[in-house]
A and B are shown apart, each in its own frame.
Chain A
Amino acid sequence: MEPEEPVRDVEYLESLTTTVHAGVQYGVEVLAVGEERAAGIPVPAIAQARLAARHRIPLETVLHRYLAADKKLAAFVLEEAAGVDPSDVLAAMTAQGTAFQRLVAVVTEEYVREAGARPATHEARRVERARRLLAGETVDPGILDYELDGHHLGLVASSAAARPLIRKLAGELGCRSLILAPSSNELWAWLGGAREPVDPAAVRERLAAGGDPMLPIGMGVPKSDSKGWRLTHAQAQRALWVAEAKSAPVVGYDEAALLSTVARDPTLTASLHEKYLLPLSTGPDGGRVLRATLRTYFKAERTAARRPRPSA
């Protein structure tokens, strides 16, 4: 268990308040009617134990809160015991002690169960939080230590081994970064800027020069705010498919969008093949030279189009 951190989550703080109220009511009820006749362990206490586990609050801290409440309640009973039959006071205190033991047992069990179901490492918890944010859930992004309100450029690689490369890239560009490895076969990254987006041309240039075709990277389009954070990631994932297929160190969504979309449509793919490739399949080489010439021609055209025009 990691050290306790300040909890900012409103859900957790509210549950704490609700649990205190429910716990006091339960304690008073036990004193009044006995442990056996009182209602079961308050549901908010169970929910709060689970939430505490999710927020990495140590179990000792959770149990100390109950212990403090138990002592407070015992002190209250003793204050009010004047004039009451000592055997009644003893019975009430015994019931309270039994109820407290049962409460601690239930809370501990719930806490341990929830903690066991949670990701084991800090990195895994960051990945889990990012997954939930990518799914559109409203959860606290604090654990990511990355500002979602700024500008983002999504990068996705098919290997966690790309982490040093992207970390170096972020350092060279002097931008914020969020780098997560959901598994050894996946790396998600966002390069961020508070005031202006990271230049995708600079990222592409550096990855093309310093990247590795064995570690292809898909790159999204610069976007802003949390919605853009999700979109640029989805774009990078699409681009990654093309980068992998081409064994290219980097492919941007702007050049991969059409290809990755068409490739998912078997009807369209077959139609394009029939309309453009089959007619070219003539001659003794089946049109191989013609197609190679066309590829070279289009590549040269694209390169010329990208070249900056001289100023007048």
Chain B
Amino acid sequence: MTRQTVTNRLRTAEQLIGRSLGECDTALIVALELEELGRVPIPPHSLP
């Protein structure tokens, strides 16, 4: 994966959330960790 690919994905995530990662990193990290720990439902169609 190239650096540009990663940058593009991060920009896409920011656009979908509607905020920059710097603005919401703590809440986003917690949300992602909660999902990882099975404390929130995994979004539909996202199972491998």
Contact = CB atoms under 8 A, between A and B. Distances in A.
A203 B45 CA distance: 41
B34 A273 contact: yes
Contacts of B38: 245
A280 B16 contact: yes
Interface string B7-35: 00110110011100100111111111111
Contacts, number: 98
Interface of B: 6, 9-10, 12-13, 16-18, 21, 24-41, 43-48
B36 to A, nearest CB: 7
Interface residues of A, number: 32
Contact of A259 (B21, B25, B30, B45): B30
B16 to A, nearest CB: 4
B32 A285 contact: no
A284 B47 CA distance: 11
5 contacts: A273-B34, A281-B45, A288-B46, A294-B10, A298-B32
User: Which of B36, B38, B43 has most chain A Cβ within 10 Å?
Assistant: B43
A58 to B, nearest CB: 52
Given A294-B13, A297-B6, A258 B46 contact: no
User: Which of A273, A277, A282, A287 has most chain B Cβ within 10 Å?
Assistant: A277
User: Which of B21, B24, B46 has most chain A Cβ within 10 Å?
Assistant: B46
B16 A258 contact: no
A68 to B, nearest CB: 65
Interface stretch (A99-107, A172-180, A225-233, A262-270): A262-270
Given A242-B37, A273-B35, A275-B27, A286 B44 contact: yes
A262 B34 contact: yes
A245 B31 CA distance: 15
A298 B29 contact: yes
B9 A290 contact: yes
B46 A285 contact: yes
B43 A263 contact: no
A262 B48 CA distance: 27
Contacts of A259: 30, 33-34, 37
Contacts of A263: 34, 37, 39
B15 to A, nearest CB: 9
Nearest to A258: B30
A118 interface: no
A281 B46 contact: yes
Given A259-B34, A269-B34, A290-B13, A276 B41 contact: no
Contacts of A276: 17, 24, 27-28, 31-32
B34 A291 contact: no
